[in-house]
Amino acid sequence: MDIALPEMGDSAGALVSPLEEYQVGQSFYWSLQQSVTLVDDPEVNSYINSLGYRLVTNSDDPTRSFTFFVVPDTSVNAFAAPGGFIGINTGLMLTSESESELASVLAHEIAHVTQRHILRSFERSKRMSVPMTAAMIAAALLGVADPSAGSAAIMAVQAGNVQMQLDYSRAHESEADNLGMQTLVNAGFDPNAMPRFFERLQIAGRFYGGSQIPEFLRTHPITGSRIADARGRAANLEPQRQVRDTKKFYLMREKLRVMSTKNMRELIKTYEDTLKEASSEDQSATHYGYALALLKNSNYTQARDEINTLIDSDDNQLSYHLALADIEIALGRIDAALAIYEDFQRIYPDDWALSIKQVQALLRSNQARQAIPILQRQLDVGESSAVLYRLLAQAYGDLGQKSKSHVWLAEHYHSSGQLMQAADQLRIAADYARGDEFELAKISSRLRQVETDIAMMEEVR
């Protein structure tokens, strides 16, 4: 059953072109990385991208490109920038009780992007230049992701007597709920997860006061009528294919819990208490989190015992074997870890997390030549990230190929929004490439592109 959507129109198209829209989002993403260190765990990012694109392919715009990333912030929030940049706070994943609940928020944010809601919110400023529009949106979104970072930027923009408003209109929220619900159902998730999660957030919000209200409630106000509408839509919908929550969701939720805790001993005690309780429920995710917490607390032997028990019960779960490899590396047994990676490349060829961890171990054991084909394969299958570029720079540097090393280091900086450093690395690469006309031409062309990006960002500022 399709959901009838209100006729909203898209006059935002008169404000910026699709290319300019992407540039607005990218400028925000670059700026964000200057104030926040994003989660770079390859397993967590691989999971979020897999979930995100599962929803995108079932959305109203399945061919649009998206960039999903995780912000290490325990507050419950998610936010979308023009051009398909969607951030998920760790707190959102830790608060979600099921994969369908997490998916419901992501589907909602995807709808904000496909319907260009943020650009519509700025239609009143359509007479401004694109750089100024980019500055307004980036400043507002930075305020969502990091209030201290956003406030200065917002003040700078408002100094030009421009009023701004980030909060989505009621019509935009309704449209995102409608589209998000349809996407959720098309992807096989439980449609009741959306009103259930909204209701729990609304109840939790009553216990906060003033500035303590979760950011998601500030930018996506949840009312009783909105929850009732979501319940009504869910009651009239049945998933086209009911899919159970993946175990990966529960494993990655525990991994984030371990990564974000400030008191490891207390968390270990919590895990131990939970595991002592007699329960018929599957506690494999709890055992997994317990093992990771023990590893982080340097209890290597106990951590390995926990992981081996999990492997005995489910030998095909890659996360368990990657955790075992982490334990072997912590014990100084890199060869044992490399053997694990090699075995599982046969079962899960080109898996992102597996490949990145294998490369990191290869570089630690001075095997850069073996690492490069694995990294190149990730490029061939369309992967790109600051982590990948940094590892390529390190590998070529270890082999003494200085020009290539600096080229990839430039890509690392560019992907991270450090544009001036990227340009500097390309100039150094050009010095090392003297005598190789073809390589020098490629570097010079890339340098011109980066300098164009620098000029654009200077305009935005």
Q: Binding residue per annotation — 108?
A: yes
Helices (H), 83-212: 90-95, 99-114, 117-121, 130-145, 147-158, 170-186, 193-205
- 215 in catalytic set: no
- 99 in catalytic set: no
Catalytic-role residue among 101, 109, 190, 215 = 109
**Cα–Cα distance for residue pair 426/451, rounded to 1 Å:** 11
Bridge partner list, 45: none
Bridge partner list, 86: 68, 80
Q: Binding residue per annotation — 414?
A: no
Name the residue with tokens 């307004």.
136
Count how many Cα atoms sit within 13 Å of the Cα of residue 53 in the half-sphere of its side chain. 10
Beta strands 78-81; 85-89: pairing state: antiparallel
Phi, psi at 318, each rounded to 5°: -60, -35
Q: 368, 359, 418, 417: which is closest to 388 by C-alpha?
A: 359
Taking phi over 0 as left and psi of -120 to 50 as alpha, with beta for the rest, 435 belongs to: left
How many CB atoms sit inside 10 A of residue 298's CB? 9
- Cα 293 vs. chain centroid, distance in angstroms? 23
Sheet containing 67-71: which strands, arranged edge to edge?
Answer: 67-71, 85-89, 78-81
Bridge partner list, 88: 70, 78
Q: Binding residue per annotation — 173?
A: yes
Count how many Cα atoms sit within 13 Å of the Cα of residue 77 in the half-sphere of its side chain. 25
How many CB atoms sit inside 10 A of residue 438's CB? 8
Structure tokens given for 236: 């009239």
63-101 burial: b if 16+ Cβ within 10 Å, else e: eeebbbbbbbbbebbbbbbbbbbbbbbbbbbebbebbbb
Structure tokens given for 308: 């081996």
Phi, psi at 349, each rounded to 5°: -60, 135
Catalytic-role residue among 43, 99, 177, 254 = 177
Are the beta carbons of 320 and 294 closer than 8 angstroms?
no
Opening angle at CA 419, ends 456 and 386, nearest 5: 125
DSSP state letter for 11: G
Are the beta carbons of 406 and 425 closer than 8 angstroms?
yes
**Cα–Cα distance for residue pair 326/339, rounded to 1 Å:** 12
**Known binding residues:** 108, 112, 173
**Known binding residues for Zn(2+):** 108, 112, 173
- Catalytically annotated residues: 109, 177
